[in-house]
Each structure stands twice: as C-alpha cells, then as structure tokens.
Structure 1
C-alpha cells in the first residue's frame, strides 16, 4: 500500500491548520472572556472549524473530486463529529475525570491532544468517504 500523494497531504494539512486556528481561537475566547463551560465552548468552536475545513477541502485539496448534492457535506460532518467525540472525550477525561480544570489544561486536552488524535480519523474519513475519486475506495493509492 503506497502513501497518499504529497499534494493531498499538504493541502489537507494547510486546510486543517486554518480550521484548527479558527477552532482554537474561538474555543479560547468562549472558554475565557465569554465564560462558556468547556464542553459548550468546544462544541461551538468545532462547528466553526468544521465548516472552514469542508470549504477548504472542497474548494482546494479535493477540488477535482466529483461531489454532488448534500451527501458529501453530511458525510464530512459525520466524520468530523466522530473526530469531535475523540476531542470531547479527551477534554472530559482531563477536566472531569482527572480534575485538571484550568483554561490551559482544557485547551491542551481539547484543542491539543484531542485534535491530534482526531486528525488521523478525519484525514482517513475525508479521503475515503467524502472526496473519494474513481478507482480509489479506501486505499492509499491515488
């Protein structure tokens, strides 16, 4: 099994960094000055980041993939919800299970560790389920 094309990895990473920046900035604002609880703040920042990621991938990284209708958008959000569950579990375990309740601890667990783990799942799902191309269904070959 060969690795994904470099252009795809670079594009996905660039879009992901932008989405991550939106997610992190909004989470930090909502958790800090806005005074939201950590789970609500993460859920809202996730929605914003996910929307940025879909637009960036659809218009950039996977612009040549044939996607029609609402299905790809719905599947993309489902994949990202699975990733968000990973992030939320990291945040919940840290905040409520381990008692690490500072804003910094919430940011590290939700937007750091959780995001890293979720990225692997998101790349696979985005590539395999949302923007698949002819002749490539779930494999690393392009």
Structure 2
C-alpha cells in the first residue's frame, strides 16, 4: 500500500462525510431522519466514489458497475457501524449519548473505514492497475 493511496482515500472520504452530514442536516427538518439519511448516504457514497475514481485511482476511470460494487462496499461499512452501535446499545446496555457516539462514530467508523478501504482497493479498483473481473 502506498501512502499516497491511503491519503487520497481518506481525503475522498472526508469530502464524502462532509457532503453526507451537510445534506442530512439540510434535509432532516423537511423529510425526517430516515429519508434524509438515505438521500445523504447516497450523496456521500457518490462523492466518495467520484473522489476515488477521479483522484486516488484516476488511471482507472469512472464506470457504472464499479460504482455499484463501491455502493455495496459502503453499505457493508454502514452495517458494521450499525452493528457496533447495536451491540453496545442493546447488547451491552451502554445507552448514554456518549456511549452511542463512541460505539457508532468511534469504534464503528474505524472498523467501517478499514473495511471500505480494503473493499475499495481490492473489489472496486483492483491493485496493480487491473480492473476487478466484473467491471469489464
């Protein structure tokens, strides 16, 4: 793994997180939390894919099938975050706002970011300049 690759991935993720958060905060009052989060997640995922496809892994270009796999990887990451929050909140009984923040946005975000980096690198943008087999 190259340092430039990791830094590019983290930069694209930071922009995506900002887009996700801003859109969620903008839409939540009008749409409610779940529809707002669904739309903000889609926008954040799209921003992260474009940042990686046009920046970090720019030699590979933008492809719709890659975006679909990238979206799946990001859904898996979101599931990891939700699982960390669920285990902490419901399984361990740690129900304070601080505990929810640490488990979902701390531990969950770290584990999800590791999964997303691995998935982006190996399933979406295959290492060594090769495309993943299903991307054509």
TM-score (norm. length: structure 2): 0.73
Aligned length: 129
In structure 2, what is the equivalent of residue 50 of structure 1? 45
1:86 aligns to what? 80
Structure having the higher helix fraction is 2
Distance 1:58 1:87, change over 3 A: same
What CA RMSD, in Å, does the superposition of the two structures yield over aligned residues? 3.2
| Structure 1: runs of 5 or more not aligned | none
The normalised TM-score by structure 1 is 0.70
* Unaligned runs of at least 5 residues, structure 2: none
Contact map agreement 2:73 2:120 (CA 8 A) in 1: yes
The one of the two structures with greater contact order (alpha-carbon pairs below 8 A, sep at least 6) is 1
The aligned residue for residue 59 of structure 1 is: 54
**Cα distance 1:107–1:22, how it changes in 2: closer, same or farther (>3 A)?**
farther
Change (3 A) 1:22 1:105: farther
Q: What's the CA shift string for 1:112-132, capped at 9, x where partnerless?
A: 211100111111111111122
